[in-house]
């Protein structure tokens, strides 16, 4: 789970649950749910409620869920990070409560000062959803709780194309294209961000697999946090193997570009400015972990944070950076390889000098993504 705090007096909790949905189980990882580490203020288990002390003369602590109403029903008709979710606003009224925590089942999803007044919960799993809000005093002792059970139902149309409409994308079906399961033509302003091929002056429409488009929408939201309104790319669809070769030859591994389920990102353009953050120039290769890395310039910091967010927020399953190898010195390769969560962690060398960098993996190993299907060597993806 990611917890997002928004400007409203509401703490926003986003749950992308660990339960798989049929179309996306390849990318569902339990790490979606982020549960705070236990500490001294961890509440007792949900079945071990401790009644509050009855101190005469003090205000009785209380907590009531005022929304949603018990038994309410919510449709998963919003799109979040490529998933259909239901937005469930949980409003709470409290008296003499310092902190409130939202539980789904027995899992704590978010905790906030009682003054925020509630949570926005994004549910992506159909069926009964039991929401519990627990109130704590200043000492971290539970003083009150309330429960509301609601029902989550699927949208009328769970298809990818309906998702593009829900995201407000300007798109049209594309003609059958070799390698692409569901080809669509998407206009190049996605979530307020322009997608421009590096050698073009203006953005142009892009052919892609339908399922890539919601990922790009998520990418747009990530870069927007940094005042970026342009993604400068060097390609989505390219019917070829990793490192080159004909996918039909049977002698090489088709790239995700052959399915138009990948994009190579060359740089980022800043809003109201001619400034561009360009991987080849501004990404400084350093030894050690890619995320968070140790960026020393604003440009490098933004590139690192965007690269790491694409991965940690699961906008994409594979994120290859200039740290990966020389073939990626000038771009992020990001794709939707099923079952993968991968970002290169280390590189043998520092920047500069660039020549030869990345050809030498620290261990000389290839990377096993866990299902033995995706061994990445050191060729362009």
Which one, 100 or 212, has the nearer CB to Zn ion?
Answer: 212
Backbone phi, then psi, for 4, in 5-degree steps? -115, 130
Residue span binding Zn ion (CB under 5 A) among the ranges 120-128, 150-158, 256-264, 360-368:
256-264
Bridge partners of residue 134, in order along the sequence:
101, 145
Exactly one of 120, 230, 282, 381 binds Zn ion (CB under 5 A); which one? 381
Strands (E) in 187-238, as ranges, are: 189-190, 193-197, 206-209, 228-233
Given a contact cutoff of 8 angstroms between Cβ atoms, the answer to whether 224 and 172 are in contact is no
Instruction: Supply 336's token pair.
Output: 């939707």
Which one, 213 or 336, has the nearer CB to Zn ion?
Answer: 336
Bridge partners of residue 85, in order along the sequence:
78
Tell me the three state secondary structure of residue 328.
helix
Would you count residue 344 as binding Zn ion (CB under 5 A)?
no
Residue 257: CB minimum distance to Zn ion, A: 6
Which one, 144 or 260, has the nearer CB to Zn ion?
Answer: 260
Element (H, E) at 223: helix 212-224
Which one, 225 or 359, has the nearer CB to Zn ion?
Answer: 359
- Angle at which helix 298-312 crosses helix 212-224, to 10 degrees, equals 140
Task: Look at the chain and count its residues.
Answer: 381
Would you count residue 146 as binding Zn ion (CB under 5 A)?
no
Would you count residue 264 as binding Zn ion (CB under 5 A)?
yes
Asked, as a colleague might, if the bond just before 352 is cis with ω within 30 of 0, I would say yes
Which one, 108 or 381, has the nearer CB to Zn ion?
Answer: 381
Which one, 221 or 380, has the nearer CB to Zn ion?
Answer: 380
Would you count residue 333 as binding Zn ion (CB under 5 A)?
yes
Residue 187: CB minimum distance to Zn ion, A: 22
Residue 28: CB minimum distance to Zn ion, A: 24
Task: Give 367's DSSP letter.
Answer: B
Residue span binding Zn ion (CB under 5 A) among the ranges 156-164, 268-276, 331-339, 356-364:
331-339
Pairing mode, if any, of strands 118-123 and 83-95? antiparallel
Residue span binding Zn ion (CB under 5 A) among the ranges 185-193, 204-212, 285-293, 332-340:
332-340
Residues that bind Zn ion (CB under 5 A): 264, 333, 381
């Amino acid at each position: 789970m990611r917890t997002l705090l928004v400007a409203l007096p509401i703490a926003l909790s986003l749950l992308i649950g660990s339960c798989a949905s049929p179309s996306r189980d390849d990318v569902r990882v339990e790490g979606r749910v982020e549960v705070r580490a236990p500490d001294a203020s961890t509440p007792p288990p949900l079945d071990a409620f401790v009644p509050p002390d009855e101190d005469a003369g003090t205000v009785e602590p209380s907590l009531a869920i005022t929304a949603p109403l018990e038994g309410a029903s919510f449709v998963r008709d919003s799109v979040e990070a490529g998933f259909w979710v239901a937005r469930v606003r949980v409003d709470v009224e409290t008296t003499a409560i310092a902190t409130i925590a939202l539980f789904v089942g027995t899992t704590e999803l978010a905790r906030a000062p009682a003054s925020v007044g509630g949570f926005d919960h994004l549910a992506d799993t159909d069926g009964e959803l039991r929401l519990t809000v627990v109130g704590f005093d200043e000492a971290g002792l539970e003083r009150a709780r309330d429960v509301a059970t609601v029902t989550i139902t699927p949208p009328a149309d769970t298809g990818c194309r309906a998702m593009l409409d829900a995201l407000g994308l300007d798109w049209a079906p594309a003609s059958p294209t070799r390698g692409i399961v569901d080809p669509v033509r998407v206009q190049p302003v996605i979530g307020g961000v322009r997608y421009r091929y590096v050698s073009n002056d203006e953005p142009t429409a892009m052919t892609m697999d339908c399922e890539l488009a919601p990922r790009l929408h998520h990418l747009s939201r990530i870069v927007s946090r940094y005042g970026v309104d342009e993604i400068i790319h060097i390609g989505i669809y390219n019917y070829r193997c990793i490192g080159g070769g004909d996918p039909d030859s049977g002698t090489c591994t088709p790239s995700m570009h052959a399915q138009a389920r990948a994009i190579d990102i060359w740089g980022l353009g800043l809003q109201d400015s001619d400034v561009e953050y360009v991987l080849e120039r501004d990404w400084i290769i350093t030894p050690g972990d890619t995320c968070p890395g140790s960026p020393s310039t604003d440009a490098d910091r933004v590139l690192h944070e965007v690269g790491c967010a694409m991965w940690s927020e699961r906008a994409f399953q594979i994120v290859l950076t200039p740290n990966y190898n020389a073939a990626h010195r000038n771009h992020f390769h990001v794709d939707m390889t099923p079952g993968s969560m991968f970002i290169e962690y280390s590189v043998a060398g520092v920047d500069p000098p660039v020549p030869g960098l990345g050809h030498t993996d620290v261990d000389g190993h290839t990377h096993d993504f866990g299902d033995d299907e995706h061994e990445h060597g050191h060729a362009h993806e």
